Amino acid sequence: MTVVVVGGGLAGAKTVEHLRDRAYDGRVVLIGSEPERPYERPPLSKGYLQGSQPREEAFVHAPDWYAAHDVDLRTGTSVASIDLAARDVLDAAGTRTGFDHLVLATGSEPRRIDVPGSDLAGVHVLRTLDDSDRLKAALSARPHVAVVGGGWIGLEVAAAARAAGCEVSVLVRDPLPLVAPLGRELAQVFADLHRSNGVDLRVRTEVASLVADGSGTAVGAVELADGTRVDAELVVVGIGAAPRTDLAKAVGLRVEDGVVVDQHLRSSHPHVLAVGDIARAAHPFLGTHVRVEHWANALNQPATAAATIVGADEPYDALPYFFTDQFDLGMEYIGHVGSHGYDEVVVRGDLEAREFVAFWRREGRVLAGMNVNVWDVVDDVQALIRSRAVVDRDRLADPDVPLAELR
């Protein structure tokens, strides 16, 4: 019996780990396109980029873990094709490997900006450890930095650049950064945070082009649609990511904003599973398919994939979770608002002091919660969400009412 895992990130590494923890004694092959052994991505825009976390701490396992657990780790190797009828994969080196189960953990690809000058030197994206190394080195020269995009990665990079002593501009198309996931009231918290830390945050802006400096080969400014120019010797493009589904599409798997899988993470082919960024999974609690591009998903879904492979019935029902650290703000978010939206956000605590818990509600029920500089409440928030209880608004907003009493 052989399991082949395609994708050498956190999701792939945890899949092979859980297989061995489940006493799976067949052959296990892990194929990753990067030259490094599997590592976690949050440090790339947080601790490692800021110099507070050693490089080695980003790796999922020690160098000798794979050999010790009889995992055939192939780094720097991409998969050229998959033959589902023959149940084998062909890698770029010409090696053909048969499988009984195939796990796709191919992750996401950063979106590129399609404007003139996007190929100039000094234009960065942040996805890999090499990307973070290059960006870290570039920030040490204290260039004027322009971040295009106001999502989590863009704002974390902006915070890291300010910590490195750089002048920073953040250019956001929307009326506020993070307005899509958080809504206007909570997005304003992050806008105020960055402006109070010296970031030149510009909203409702559209990038028209990246302009070369005097050398003609490196970026020197960002030109906006209204003709304004923003000085920038370094540009970081953080406009989202797209799931890497080319292999899945090529073999005819069902792909709709990711590889569609059931609650056991099986794709439309019973011997092919998907985990992490690319998995659009049926969620038993939420009652819909969701695809989550966050660390916790890559960390936790592999346990279900391994269970499915060994024949255990353990559906994946963890609520989406993510976290961020920016300047002096630490945050955790759990839950899922979904396409139906929410009626209101209820805040308990001090919004202006940035010490609070926010709750997204619909029809009196809590859909999601976010704690900002308030700790040890995630389990209570999760329990409240899962209870589906209709909660009194005033009691929800009252810090003196324990969350456990609301469900």
* Angle between helical axes of 295-309 and 10-21 (0-180°, round to 10): 40
Q: How does strand 219-224 pair with strand 279-283?
A: unpaired
User: What is the average per-residue pLDDT within 6-14?
Assistant: 97
At residue 403, the pLDDT reads 95
Q: Would the pLDDT of 165 be above 90?
A: yes
Q: How many angstroms from the chain centroid is the CA of residue 79?
A: 23
Give the C-alpha separation, 287 to 290, whole Å: 9
Q: Are 100 and 87 in contact (CB under 8 A)?
A: yes
Read out DSSP for 184-222?
Answer: HHHHHHHHHHHHHTT-EEE-S--EEEEEE-TTSSBEEEE
* Angle between helical axes of 152-163 and 129-139 (0-180°, round to 10): 40
- In degrees and rounded to multiples of 5, residue 72 shows phi and psi of -80, 95
Q: Would the pLDDT of 64 be above 90?
A: yes
Q: How does strand 27-31 pair with strand 71-74?
A: parallel
Where along the chain do the CATH 3.50.50.60 domains lie? 2-109+241-309, 112-237
The encoded tokens of residue 255 equal 């792909």
Give the C-alpha separation, 363 to 373, whole Å: 27
In tens, the pLDDT along 341-355 reads 999 999 999 999 999
User: What is the average per-residue pLDDT within 149-153?
Assistant: 95
Read out DSSP for 235-258?
Answer: EEE-S-EEE--HHHHHTT--BSSS
Q: Would the pLDDT of 37 be above 90?
A: yes
Lowest mean pLDDT among 273-277, 316-320, 339-343: 339-343
State the amino acid at position 118 in one-letter form: S
Give the C-alpha separation, 92 to 109, whole Å: 19
At residue 339, the pLDDT reads 86
Give the C-alpha separation, 199 to 153, whole Å: 15
Would you report the helix, strand and coil content of the chain in percent, each value rounded to 5?
25, 30, 40
Q: Would the pLDDT of 407 be above 90?
A: no
Q: How does strand 365-372 pair with strand 329-335?
A: antiparallel
- CATH architecture, domain 328-406: 2-Layer Sandwich (3.30)
Q: Are 304 and 314 in contact (CB under 8 A)?
A: yes
Q: How confident is the model at residue 53 (pLDDT cuts 50, 70, 90)?
A: very high
Give the C-alpha separation, 360 to 184, whole Å: 12
Q: Is CATH 3.50.50.60 the classification given to domain 2-109+241-309? A: yes
Location of structure tokens 């297989």 = 19
Q: Would the pLDDT of 221 be above 90?
A: yes
User: What is the average per-residue pLDDT within 199-203?
Assistant: 98
Location of structure tokens 């501009």 = 169
Location of structure tokens 């999760």 = 382
Where along the chain do the CATH 3.30.390.30 domains lie? 328-406
Q: How confident is the model at residue 182 (pLDDT cuts 50, 70, 90)?
A: very high
Q: Is 154 helix (H, G, I), strand (E, B) or coil?
A: helix
- CATH architecture, domain 112-237: 3-Layer(bba) Sandwich (3.50)
Q: Are 292 and 257 in contact (CB under 8 A)?
A: no
User: What is the average per-residue pLDDT within 86-105?
Assistant: 96
Rg (CA), the chain: 22
At residue 357, the pLDDT reads 98
Residue 201 burial (C-beta neighbours within 10 Å; 0-12, 13-18, 19+): buried
Q: Are 314 and 266 in contact (CB under 8 A)?
A: no
In terms of residues, how long is the chain?
A: 407
User: What is the average per-residue pLDDT within 100-113?
Assistant: 96
State the average pLDDT for the chain. Answer: 96
Q: What percent of the chain has pLDDT over 90?
A: 99
